[in-house]
Structure 1
Amino acid sequence: MARKYSKHGPREDILKDDDAPEAAPPPDCWLCSRPCGETVVWHHPVPKSRGGRDTVPMHPICQNMLITTFTNSELQRYGLDVDLLKLDPRIEKFLGWVANKDPDFNAALGKKKQR
């Protein structure tokens, strides 16, 4: 049977505060290039249904904007080239609007339009 407590004393003596790993800075959002906040969404730029395997860090609101703006076929065509996505006028407008928002800001963007 395993011991409930270490026979060498309490665990706090073994692990000191200066041994604690430093928190890494949050990654930058793939779409808007702002630092991510508490919530980081790992998004597939090329949808998994279209064979995408790579993931990129994004804000939830930025991911919602991509999902509501583009179809999976369009996202597959753009691939990992974020500069092509930023040329779309809807994305340009969104990036100008979200630029001064808090990293954890989230808002409803509407529903995906049926084509």
Structure 2
Amino acid sequence: MDTETEICPLCERPLGRRRERHHLVPRLKGGRETVTIHPICHRKIHALFSEAELARSYASIAALRVHPEIVRFTDWLAGKPADFHAATRTARTRRR
């Protein structure tokens, strides 16, 4: 598929040259299914959620997309170029 037509399922912007695979259920928790997303989106997911939280409550794009912090992030990211990247702040404390 052409890079112009592939869409990041998290932020719904076109994918650029830089891409990463996100395991919907972390590999440490037995996950195998992956989705292709922007590196900035991938880093935001892992900055917000522990592996256990991803496996338990956020094992789908639909579940991730309705979390208030992800909504705020995707609203901020809207309209930015496909290969846009910025440093991702990590959570000060994350539950395991």
Q: 1:47 aligns with which of 14, 21, 26?
A: 26
Q: TM-score, normalised by structure 1?
A: 0.73
1:75 maps onto 2:50 in alignment: no
Kindly report which structure 2 residues correspond to 1:1-115, keeping only aligned pairs within 5 A, or say none: 24-26=1-3, 27-77=6-56, 78-79=58-59, 81-115=60-94
Residues paired across the two proteins, number: 91
Q: What amino acid sits opposite 1:72 in the alignment?
A: E
Paired residues of 1:68 and 1:113 also in contact (CA < 8 A)? no
Could you tell me which runs of 5 or more consecutive residues in structure 1 were left unpaired when the two chains were aligned. Answer: 1-23
Could you tell me which runs of 5 or more consecutive residues in structure 2 were left unpaired when the two chains were aligned. Answer: none
C-alpha deviation, 1:61, in angstroms: 0.3
Q: Percent identity?
A: 40
Aligned mates of 1:113, 1:53 — CA distance in 2? 28
Q: Which has the higher contact order (CA 8 A, sep 6+)?
A: 2
Q: Which has the larger radius of gyration?
A: 1
C-alpha deviation, 1:45, in angstroms: 1.5
Look up the SS of the partner of 1:29 in the other structure: coil
Look up the SS of the partner of 1:61 in the other structure: helix
Q: What amino acid sits opposite 1:28 in the alignment?
A: I
Look up the SS of the partner of 1:57 in the other structure: strand
Structure 1 consecutive aligned stretches of length 4 or more whose deviation exceeds 3 Å: none
Aligned mates of 1:114, 1:101 — CA distance in 2? 29
